[in-house]
Amino acid sequence: MPRPEPMPGYGQLLQRCYRSLAGAVRSCTDCGWELSRRTWAENASLAWSETLLCLLCAIGWTWLRRAASGSLFRPFGERCNLQPKDAAKMPESAWKLLFYTLSWSYGAYLLFFTEYPFFHDPPSVFYGWEKGMDVPTDIGIAYLLQGSFYGHSIYATVYMDAWRRDSVVMLIHHVVTLTLIVFSYAFRFHNVGILVLFLHDISDVQLEFTKLNVYFKHRGGIYHRLNDVISNLGCLTFSISWFWFRLYWFPLKVLYATCHSSLQSVPDVPFYFFFNALLLALTLLNLYWFLYIVLFVAKVLTGQMQEVNDVREYDVEESKKTTGNHLKNGLIKDKRL
C-alpha cells in the first residue's frame, strides 16, 4: 500500500483540483443525460430492501424522538422549571445531542480504533475501489444510522423543530446530505462518506451541548453561573471546531481526495462531477453558517450582546412579535400626532 500522502495546503488544493477538474472536463466528450443514465445502470448498487429498511428506520427515529420528548425530555424540563421559551426548545437540542454524540463516537471508533486509514491518509478512500463492492458491516451500520436519521431530519425540520430564520437553509443541508449518503452508498464511495460524517458531527455535538446550557442557565427563577460559563466556553470551542473540522480539514482531506486523488486511483470514477458539486455545496453551506458564527461572536466581543444565546435562536414567531410590536408602537405614535 502506498505511503500516506502529506495533507496539502489551500494553494495546492486549488491548483491540483483545478487541474484535475479541467482535465476531466476535457476528457468527457459525451457528458450528458445519456451518459448519466448508463453510468447509473452500470455502477449503482442499491437494493429496494435497503431503501425500505432505511425508510423504516427513519420512521423509527421519528417515533423514538416523540417518545423520548414526551416521557423524558419535557418532564425533565418541567422538573427543572425552565423558562417557557427554553422548555419548548430543550427537547429538540437534547434529542440531537443524544444522536450526534452517538454517531460521532461511532465514527471516531471506525477511524481511530480500527484498521481504516482514511483520516490520516484520505486518498486511501479510493484504493481498491470496485463497482458493486461489498460494504463492510461496521460502515454499513453507520450508513444506515446516518441515512435514516437525515431522512427523519427532513420531516422534523418542517413539522417538529422550532422554525428559525435559517430553517430553509437547514432543510437544503439535510437534502444535500441525504443525497450524498444515498448516492455514495450506491456507488460504493462509503469510505469517504465516513470521513465526511465524522468531520461534521463533532460541531453538532458542541452546538447542542452549548444550547442546552443556554436553556438551563435560567431555571427555577434563578440564574446559574456554571451553565453560563459552560455556554460561553462552548460557544468558543464550537466556533473553533467549526472552522477546523468543516473549513480546514474538510476541504484539505475530503475535497482533495474526491476532486484530485480519486482520478489518480480510479480514472473513470462514476458521477465525478455530481459528487464534487454536492460536496462543494456542502462547503458553501458550512461557510454560510460560519459567517453567522463570526457575526455572533463579534456581537458578544463588542458588547452588543451581553450574554450568549442560541446562535440559531432567531425564531420566526419571535421575529413576527418584534415586528408587530414595532408596528403597533408606530401606529400609537401616529395616532398621537
Q: 206 and 237 in contact (C-beta within 8 Å)?
A: yes
CA distance 138 to 178: 19
pLDDT digits (tens, 9 = 90+) for 85-98: 899 999 999 999 99
Residues 140-168 have a mean pLDDT of: 93
Mean pLDDT across the chain, nearest whole number?
87
Residues 253-268 have a mean pLDDT of: 94
- The helix or strand, by DSSP H or E, that contains position 219, with its residue range, turns out to be strand 218-219
Concatenated DSSP letters for 278-291? Answer: HHHHHHHHHHHHHH
For residue 310, the model assigns a pLDDT of 54
Least confident of 81-85, 116-120, 249-253, 328-332: 328-332
Higher pLDDT among residues 127 and 314, named by residue: 127
Residues 5-23 have a mean pLDDT of: 91
Residue 109: pLDDT band (50, 70, 90) is: very high
pLDDT digits (tens, 9 = 90+) for 173-204: 999 999 999 999 999 999 999 999 999 999 99
Q: Which residues of 230-243 are buried (b: 16+ CB within 10 A; e: fewer)?
A: bbbebbeebbebbb
For residue 308, the model assigns a pLDDT of 58
Q: 261 and 279 in contact (C-beta within 8 Å)?
A: no
CA distance 188 to 269: 11
293 contact partners, CB below 8 Å, separation of at least 6:
238, 239, 242, 311
CB atoms within 10 A of CB 28: 12
Q: 296 and 308 in contact (C-beta within 8 Å)?
A: no
Residues 60-80 have a mean pLDDT of: 95
Residue 240: pLDDT band (50, 70, 90) is: very high
Please measure the distance between the N-terminal and C-terminal CA atoms of the chain and give it in whole angstroms.
Answer: 82
CB atoms within 10 A of CB 222: 8
For residue 336, the model assigns a pLDDT of 36
Concatenated DSSP letters for 36-81? Answer: HHHHHHHH----HHHHHHHHHHHHHHHHHHHHHIIIIIHHHHHHTT
For residue 321, the model assigns a pLDDT of 44
Bridge partners of residue 265, in order along the sequence: none
User: What is the percentage of the chain residues whose pLDDT exceeds 70?
Assistant: 88
pLDDT digits (tens, 9 = 90+) for 265-322: 998 899 999 999 999 999 999 999 999 888 887 776 676 665 656 555 544 444 444 3
